[in-house]
Amino acid sequence: MNSFYIQLLAETEALIDEKEPCLTGLANACALLYQRLDHVNWVGFYMVCGSELTLGPFQGKPACTRIGKGKGVCGHAWETGQIVRVENVHDFPGHIACDAASRSEIVLPLFCQGRVIAVLDIDSPQEGRFSPEDEEGLEQIVRRLEQKIYGFWNQTKTREEQNAPIGVMDSGVGGISVLREMRRMMPAEDYLYYGDSLHAPYGTRTVEEVQRFSFRSASFLIEHGVKALVVACNTATSAAIARLRERFVSMPIIGIEPALKPAAVGHGGEKILVMATPMTLREDKFHLLMEHYGKETRVIPISCEGLMEYVEQGITEGKELEDYLMKKLQDDLPADSIVLGCTHYPFIKKTLRKLVGERPRILDGGEGTAREVRRRLLEEGLLRQDEREGTVMFYNSLPSQEILERSRRLLTDGD
């Protein structure tokens, strides 16, 4: 590393205060680089937020606010986890032109716990501005930023943090089906469950409404000190989880999706019915799943508006429910698999089995979500290690003791 970058590295280290928020350190770092590097017209950070890079602290002209994974130079650096140095940006396939004056570019990924969490993007109006010496020096600066700004994420979590409860949220009582799997897999953990039965069902709402309701539920649980947030609602996962991850960047947030993968993998040529809410079936997330796993199987989506309301009312069996299910399914039976794409639906599995017989496999995403929650907690150093029986506390937006009692019954049914 040459003398210029040795000095710049020292200046960067002196500038970063580990007690300040992450974005504060990144803002000062990009200001320093913008001031000290010759012939650059833009310096800034893009932060990994869900499935996109979003614009962070920067110096220069206004820039693109969102970049998809693999898109442009920044998206390519994120996808590959490699430094990308481009002599002429106009020769780079898929280049995203935010500033027409830019000619060359270098993008360096920042890592935390083995995954990319941000990229440093530097543009120049000169072609071929960035040399191997620049790459070497800037890489050392990026490594130091990882250590000083994000290093605390790699430290062992305190006992108090490990002992905090896990927050679980849903549009009503359906997410309790996921909570049951989590308790089975992580019995020592404490849980706070928030059901938004006042605004149920989410499946027939607009995306904007679901996002607004989801933020209220998440904020409630975070204010109550949860260490992780589980969005145990397929509709809320589709509509709001990317935004939640952008807003609560330091919180592990885990969602759920229809169990299409276990239904399809290794079962080529089979017929798969996916029962879900209208919104889940409309959203891009489901269409991507269907496009990916529907190549070798026949996937039939079945919109089940009204079904979650039966569970909300405590109706999980009986003639009325059976008539509803047969009306929805009769034209598409028999099937090889039935995927339950709403967390309310596992509670009607017994009635469903009675109607469809033993042939089709009936799958839901609860167990897979519980495994992912455990993996994330273990990765973050937040999984409780002591032997104990955890507790569950229920909250609901509907001011009704009856809904809380129904929640407790659904949790213990089948235990």
Active site residue ranges? 233, 342
Q: Which helix (H) or strand (E) holds 263?
A: helix 260-264
Lookup result for tokens 């994000």 = 150
CB 222 within 8 A of CB 248: yes
What pairing do the DSSP bridges indicate for beta strands 337-340 and 271-276? parallel
User: What is the C-alpha end-to-end distance of the chain, expressed in Å?
Assistant: 63
Query: CA triplet 23, 28, 33: central angle to 5 degrees?
Result: 125
User: What's the full length of the chain, in residues?
Assistant: 415
CB 193 within 8 A of CB 395: yes
Beta-carbon-side half-sphere exposure of residue 44 (alpha carbons within 13 Å): 19
Query: CA triplet 102, 105, 108: central angle to 5 degrees?
Result: 145
CB 382 within 8 A of CB 227: yes
Q: In the structure, how many helices (H) and strands (E) does the chain have?
A: 16, 15
Query: CA triplet 364, 366, 372: central angle to 5 degrees?
Result: 125
Lookup result for tokens 């104990």 = 388
Which of the 8 DSSP states describes residue 136? H
Q: Which of 257, 249, 296 is nearest to 276 (CA)?
A: 257
3-state secondary structure of 393: strand
Q: Which residues pair with 107 in a beta bridge?
A: 84, 121
